[in-house]
Amino acid sequence: MALLEIRNLHASVEGNEILRGVNLTVNAGEVHAIMGPNGSGKSTLAQVLAGRDEYEITQGEVLYKGEDLLEMDPEERAAEGVFLAFQYPVQIPGVSNAYFLKAAVNAIRKHHGEPQIDAFDFMKLVKEKQELVEMDSSFLNRAVNDGFSGGEKKRNEIFQMAVLQPTLCVLDETDSGLDIDALKIVANGVNAMRSENRAFVVVTHYQRLLNYIVPDFVHVLVDGRLVRSGGKELAMELEERGYAEFEGAAV
């Protein structure tokens, strides 16, 4: 059974159809890159998978571990192992990173009928993952993404992912706005988590990230449909030739 099966997915926002029949199968252990021009629906696809309710699903289905993903609340999806690294991580003044992460870890444990995490174990886990994304220790006491630089916010997403250990990781333009050092840190974080039980869907506008996170499959999303799929060499091709040849093709 595929980990994720998207069949003929159509999604609209305020009456505008953005996804117009997306089909995608992702198996555990795979890394899929989804590339496409601005406005092609990449972020919509990522947010629909995480359960953002401003999108209306008009047709199609999404199966996650064989279950209807679209029926689940966002928190249930998270508890079942779906993780979205946000393109624009949200600031939450007044809530420390440590508190936030502990609440998330415990909510997920509660969903699985497990007891709350021991304070010592939590700190140990956090410290280990913090080193992975090269965050300094003061970061835990800072409010979530509040006053963070762009790079820090993206690293924080990967850090959260590393702590929560999801099964399906969706990265929404995690590379945008990162300098090369931050990009490497983010990519290292992702690569350290690659395993045969886990899959990644990496949404990106640029091929650059894929030099560091080498995908098994590359898909081209244009006008709400996947118009072409291939191996990692497709990304190089797109980098050279752009999306022009696909635009209009999908209409």
Partner 1 sequence: MIGADLKPTESCGCEQVFSAELRERAGEIWEREGFPTTKHEEWRFTSLREIAETKFETELPAVQIDVIDPVAMPEGAVSLVFVDGKFDPDRSNGAGLPDGVVLSSLKYGITEHRDLVEAHIGKVIALDETPFVALNTRMTLDGAFLFVPRGVVIEQPIYIVHIAAEHASPTLTNSRSLFVFESDCQAKVVESSISLGAKNLQNTVAEVVVGDNAVIEHVRLQLGSEEAYHITNMQIAQRRGANFKTTVVTLGGKIVRNDINGLLNGEGTECTMNGLYVGRGEQHVDNHTRLDHAFPHCPSHELFKGVLDDKSSAVFNGKIIVRQIAQKTDSKQSNMNLLLSDDAMINTKPQLEIFADDVRCTHGATIGRLDDEAMFYLQSRGIAKDDARSLLVYAFASDVLDRIGIEVVRDTLEERLLERFHKTP
Considering only residues 142 through 171, tell me which ones interact with partner 1, judged by CB under 8 A.
143, 160, 164
Residue 41 has φ and ψ, to the nearest 5°, of 110, 10
93 binding partner 1? (CB under 8 A): yes
**Nearer to partner 1 (CB atom), residue 30 or residue 80:** 80
Span of 9-17, 78-86, 192-200, 217-225 interacting with partner 1 by CB under 8 A: 78-86
Residue that has been written with the tokens 């118009």 in this structure? 227
Contact stretch for partner 1 (CB under 8 A) within 81-89, 123-131, 200-208, 233-241? 81-89
Q: What is the DSSP string of 34-64?
A: EE--TTSSHHHHHHHHHT-TTSEEEEEEEEE
CB of 197 to partner 1, least distance (A): 19
What six digits make up the tokens of 157? 């997403």
**Minimum distance, C-beta of residue 216 to partner 1, in the bound complex (Å):** 25
**What string of DSSP letters covers 121-187?**
HHHHHHHHHHHHTT--GGGGGSEETTT--HHHHHHHHHHHHHHH--SEEEEESTTTT--HHHHHHHH
**Does 31 participate in binding partner 1 (rule CB under 8 A)?**
no
Q: Least distance in Å: CB of 105 to partner 1?
A: 8
Q: What is the longest distance spanned by two Cα atoms in the chain?
A: 56
Q: How many chain residues interact with partner 1 (CB under 8 A)?
A: 33
Q: Which of 71, 107, 191, 195 binds partner 1 (CB under 8 A)?
A: 107
| Other C-beta atoms lying within 10 Å of the C-beta of residue 143 | 16
Instruction: Report residue 54 as tokens.
Output: 């401003």
CA distances from 30 to 37, 43, 152 (A): 23, 20, 27
Contacts of residue 93, defined as CB under 8 A and 6 or more positions apart, other chains included, come to 143, 146
**Which one of residues 74, 150, 151, 177 is an interface residue with partner 1 (CB under 8 A)?**
74
Give me the least distance between CB of 160 and partner 1, in Å please. Answer: 7
| Chain Cα centroid distance, residue 209 | 14
The minimum distance between CB 95 and partner 1, in angstroms, equals 5
Nearer to partner 1, 27 or 176 (CB): 176
Give yes or no for residue 92 binding partner 1 (CB under 8 A): yes
Which one-letter amino acid corresponds to residue 39? Answer: G
For partner 1, the binding residue among 67, 111, 124, 242 (CB under 8 A) is: 111
Regarding 241 and contact with partner 1 (CB under 8 A), the answer is no
Residues found near partner 1 in the complex (CB under 8 A)? 50-54, 73-75, 77-79, 83-84, 86, 89-95, 100, 102-108, 111, 143, 160, 164
